[in-house]
């Protein structure tokens, strides 16, 4: 373990010391988002609970020293203006921290209360700093990188490190985690993927280790996984392929939890492409233990993607809690109005029994899961370079 610590720390430092000669590629984007959210409590007499204006810039650097050795770097800087008349929600309800990082720069650059209801925040995120080494027998990555698992479209039972929230507007870049990852071919159609992911100060309670075996058989992709995370043990299985011109996926995980009840999760779904423009999908998710990622146990998500033209796409889906019959409807419009420029507009519509504001947050219970969510309307402009 001591050797692993030395390797990780040396990699973070030496990533800046690569020789000046080689191939350098720069890129990035600028995103501007405007969104408004309704109150989450049903007894609040107000149409808007919170409005945000986000401006985010991201720079990406790819440096190739040779065919075998390269480095990826990405840094994001954000300026967020927030108008929030609802001040009854405690800070513990909102978690913006990054997990599975050994060390990190300070996320908040500044926090300014412009008035009792207006807030200005400056945020930063060192999201990629990874050295890649490619050999004919293996691929090795050391540093900060995205690591995700699973083929399910909506909810991934095996995706532990940084799963996307159902209400996430920007899912383009997966947050980076710190670790070591080794990929090795397994025969002609398979791959062995194993790694270590480190939390603060290499604590076992905030770190993870995994091995994922992938193999292609009869045009189906099969994966079997074992993962140790937060002192829990996960066993996962993922199958994806096509059947009668329709794509399908089955993703499941069993977790042997050290400090709570053992549980298993399952996502099974299918998608079908009509006429090259319309794609429909449906996914069912089950969790034997409520409160893991979502509050309930049974969920169904139907959805469609329709390409009106090569430049315009419409997307719609609805995640339904089959127990309390609440739903989160997601509608999105995307327009590629110029080269490398996109305009998005969308909404998350919460359907279900609302919850009145509690007198005591320590004994807070929602009436229905998605009825507790705020309805959100947003627009976004993206420019890539």
**149 and 159 in contact (C-beta within 8 Å)?**
yes
Please report which helix (H) or strand (E) contains residue 373, including its range. Answer: none
Query: Considering only CA atoms, which of 29, 86, 28, 35 is closest in space to residue 61?
Result: 28
CA distances from 299 to 62, 268, 294 (A): 40, 11, 9
Give me the DSSP letters along 189-238.
Answer: TEEEEEEEEE-GGG-GGG-EEEEEEEEEETTEEEEEEEEEETTEEEEEEE
Query: Considering only CA atoms, which of 172, 173, 166, 168 is closest in space to residue 301?
Result: 166
**122 and 57 in contact (C-beta within 8 Å)?**
no
CA 185, CA 182: separation in Å to the nearest integer?
A: 10
CA 126, CA 149: separation in Å to the nearest integer?
A: 22
- Check the CA dihedral 370-372-373-375 and report its sign: positive
Residues contacting residue 155 through CB under 8 Å, at least 6 positions apart? 265, 267, 283, 285, 293, 294, 299, 301
Residue 87: its pLDDT value, please? 45
Give the chain's length.
Answer: 385
**267 and 248 in contact (C-beta within 8 Å)?**
no
Residue 195: its pLDDT value, please? 96
Residue 320: its pLDDT value, please? 97
Locate tokens 């980076």: which residue?
Answer: 176
Q: Where on the phi/psi map is residue 51: left (φ > 0), alpha (ψ -120 to 50), or beta?
A: beta
CA 320, CA 370: separation in Å to the nearest integer?
A: 8
Direct distance between the N- and C-terminal alpha carbons of the chain, in angstroms, rounded to an integer: 41
User: Can you list the domains of the chain with their CATH numbers?
Assistant: 2-384 (2.40.160.10)
CA 213, CA 193: separation in Å to the nearest integer?
A: 6
CA distances from 320 to 187, 225, 288, 326 (A): 42, 28, 17, 6
Q: Cβ-count burial of 47 within 10 angstroms (0-12 exposed, 13-18 middle, 19+ buried)?
A: exposed
Give me the DSSP letters along 276-300.
Answer: TTEEEEEEEEEESSTTBSBSSSEEE
CA 167, CA 222: separation in Å to the nearest integer?
A: 29
93 phi, psi to nearest 5 deg: -80, -10
CA 47, CA 128: separation in Å to the nearest integer?
A: 39
CA 9, CA 15: separation in Å to the nearest integer?
A: 10
Locate tokens 């939890």: which residue?
Answer: 257
CA 344, chain centre distance (Å)? 19
343-367: pLDDT as tens digits: 999 999 999 987 666 545 555 667 7
User: Which parts of the chain register pLDDT below 50?
Assistant: 1, 3-4, 6-8, 10-11, 14-15, 87-96, 359
39-48: pLDDT as tens digits: 776 555 555 6
CA 120, CA 83: separation in Å to the nearest integer?
A: 9
């Amino acid at each position: 373990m001591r050797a692993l610590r030395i390797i990780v720390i040396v990699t973070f430092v030496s990533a800046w010391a690569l020789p000046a000669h080689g191939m350098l590629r720069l890129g990035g984007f600028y995103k501007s988002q405007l969104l408004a959210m309704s109150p989450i409590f049903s007894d609040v007499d107000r149409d808007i609970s919170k409005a945000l204006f986000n401006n985010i810039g991201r720079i990406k650097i790819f440096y190739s020293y040779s065919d075998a050795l390269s480095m990826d770097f990405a840094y994001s800087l954000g300026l967020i203006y927030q108008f929030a008349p609802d001040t009854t929600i405690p800070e513990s309800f909102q978690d913006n921290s990054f997990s599975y990082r050994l060390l990190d720069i300070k996320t908040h650059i500044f926090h300014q209360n412009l008035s009792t209801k207006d807030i200005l925040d400056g945020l930063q995120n060192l999201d990629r700093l990874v050295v890649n080494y490619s050999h004919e027998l293996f691929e090795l990555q050391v540093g900060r990188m995205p690591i995700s698992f699973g083929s399910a479209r909506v909810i991934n039972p095996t995706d532990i490190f940084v799963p996307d929230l159902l209400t996430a507007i920007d899912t383009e870049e997966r947050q980076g985690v710190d670790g070591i990852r080794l990929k090795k071919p397994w025969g002609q159609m398979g791959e062995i993927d194993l790694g270590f992911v480190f939390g603060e100060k290499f604590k076992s309670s905030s770190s993870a280790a995994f091995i994922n075996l992938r193999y292609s058989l009869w045009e189906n992709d099969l994966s079997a996984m074992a993962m140790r995370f937060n002192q829990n043990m996960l066993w996962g299985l993922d199958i994806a392929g096509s059947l009668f011109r329709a794509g399908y996926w089955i993703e499941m995980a069993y977790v042997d939890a050290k400090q709570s009840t053992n549980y298993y999760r399952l996502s099974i779904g299918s998608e079908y492409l009509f006429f090259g423009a319309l794609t429909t999908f449906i996914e069912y998710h089950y969790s034997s233990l409520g409160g893991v990622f979502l509050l309930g146990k049974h969920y169904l998500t139907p959805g469609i993607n329709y390409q009106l033209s090569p430049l315009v796409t419409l997307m719609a889906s609805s995640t339904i809690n089959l127990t309390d019959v609440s739903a989160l409807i997601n509608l999105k419009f995307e327009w590629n109005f110029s080269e490398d420029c996109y305009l998005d507009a969308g909404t998350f519509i919460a359907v279900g029994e609302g919850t009145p504001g509690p007198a005591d947050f320590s004994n807070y219970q929602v009436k229905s899961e998605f009825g507790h969510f705020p309805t959100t309307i947003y627009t976004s402009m993206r420019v890539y370079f």
